[in-house]
Amino acid sequence: MAQLLDGAGKLGWVLLKSVLRFVFMFFNNCVAIPSYCLYLLLLQPLRIWDTSTFWHIEGVMFKWLLAMVSSWGWIAGYTVTEWGDDVRPISEEEAMVIVNHQSTGDVCTLMMCLQDKGTVVRKMMWLMDHVFKYTNFGLVSLIHGDFFIRQGKAHRDKQLVYLKDHLDKYYHSRDRKWIVLFPEGGFLRKRRETSQLFAKKHSLPHLTHVTLPRLGATHIILKTLSAQQENGSVGGEAGTLNQTGIKRKGLQWVVDVTIAYPKARPMDIQTWIFGYRPPTVTHVHYRMYPIKEVPVEAEALTDWLYQRFVEKEELLAHFYDTGAFPPLPGQKEAVSRQMTLDPVWLCVIQSFAFVSGYMWYSVLQYLYCCLF
């Protein structure tokens, strides 16, 4: 009987905590997202007069919004430990980031672990499934200039054309530096069986912890954003001009990110919202490849991309067996780094969001009373 009461008490606490978290996040979204939109609406004259300053301000507020999402997980005890290469020294250079995809929590994890990487978050562009367009954050991503890609053979060719046009129109004009994509084209649980059948049919490696990546978006990004040499190969020295007349070198790096969850149990967005899972450490592994090492020709790029995901499979298998990633080539022992968020900074951002929400509510209420 005592055990039953103890279990009921714990369940009641989890439910109460989940309800309180949901209420807080609901109001957090209600004040933060409209405030972001209204501030940008107010700044539209600046967009005409000084585009670069407008997008700088937008990027700062975008980073703050992502920090709020990160704080939802952080206060529940969901933290990140980083392994592999240190990507902070290249935070001001252009990079394409390829990530394995297990659940909706992958996006939240990236939002958290990139917060301390200089200007990356405010100058990044996301490629994500079109379903995200209809979430609470969809409007923010649309304004920021992220690209929503529709999956499926029926849409594939058109989507690649749209992606090319999108990159030409928004990437340089808004001073983007990093572009994040999930080459697998869907969640692991949904694509694993299909990927394994495809691999068996074409004598490709059998993968369990990742799926075979798709080439399309990766190829378009490399061709569009990398500086092209006269012989057609990708190089890091030739430059292109953006709309502000500043010379850019194009993509300089491919950052290969591997996300691992304890016991291979992915964390989804519902967990971040309700916080019903015990404190959990998500592990993120980085490998950096200079753009000169990445082929741009389709067949060679396919082989290169497959090899990266074979390496991800080996990394994840090692992690699930040992609880740690293996050391990098040339290292005797793997070194991990605990990623931390500044609680004072998070409190300041949240306070600013709620003060802004109250201010805009008062302004709109006053205008409504004046007009009606």
Per-residue pLDDT, averaged over 248-267, amounts to 92
Distances (CA, A) of 155 to 135, 163, 193: 21, 12, 22
CA dist., res. 370 & res. 45, Å (int): 24
Q: Is the pLDDT of residue 110 over 90?
A: yes
* pLDDT at residue 237, rounded to an integer: 52
Q: Looking at residues 318-341, what average pLDDT do you find?
A: 89
Looking at every residue in the chain, the average pLDDT score rounds to 89
Name the burial class of residue 166, with classes exposed (0-12), middle (13-18) and buried (19+) by CB atoms within 10 angstroms of its CB: buried
Token code pair at residue 362: 């008062």
pLDDT at 4: 64
Beta-carbon contacts of 276 under 8 Å, excluding residues fewer than 6 positions away, are 14, 17, 18
Q: How many domains does the chain have?
A: 1
For 192, 206, 277, 361, the CA distances from 200, given in Å and listed in that order, are 12, 7, 37, 59
Range of the domain at 296: 1-371
| Range name among 51-55, 131-135, 171-175, 240-244 with the lowest pLDDT average | 240-244
Cβ proximity of 140 and 62 under 8 Å: yes
Across 26-42, average pLDDT: 95
Question: What does the alpha-carbon distance between residue 295 and residue 219 come to, in Å, rounded to a whole number?
Answer: 10
CA nearest neighbour of 55 among 163, 152, 161, 144: 144
pLDDT(322) > 70:
yes
For position 231, what pLDDT does the model report? Answer: 41
- Cβ neighbours of residue 121 closer than 8 Å, sequence gap 6 or more: 59, 62, 63, 66, 111, 114, 115
Residue 54 predicted with pLDDT over 50:
yes
Tell me the average pLDDT across 96-108.
93
Q: Sorting pLDDT into bands at 50, 70 and 90, what band is 7? A: low
The mean pLDDT of 242-260, rounded to a whole number, is: 80
Is the pLDDT score of 161 beyond 60?
A: yes
Q: What mean pLDDT is predicted for residues 122-146?
A: 88
Q: How would you label 102-138 residue by residue, b for 16+ Cβ within 10 Å and e otherwise?
A: bbbbbbbbbbbbbbebebbbbbbbbbbbeebeeeebb
In percent, the amount of the chain with pLDDT more than 90 equals 67
pLDDT at 230: 43
What confidence tier does 243 reach under pLDDT thresholds 50, 70, 90? very low
- CA dist 173 → 60, 168, 253, 275 (Å): 16, 8, 20, 39
pTM of the model: 0.90
Task: Say whether pLDDT at 38 is over 50.
Answer: yes
Q: Is the pLDDT of residue 152 over 50?
A: yes
Section 283-290 average pLDDT: 96
Local confidence band at 240 (pLDDT 50, 70, 90 cut-offs): low
**47 burial via Cβ count (<10 Å: 0-12, 13-18, 19+):** middle
- Checking if the pLDDT of 130 tops 90, the result is no
Q: What is the pLDDT of residue 3?
A: 64
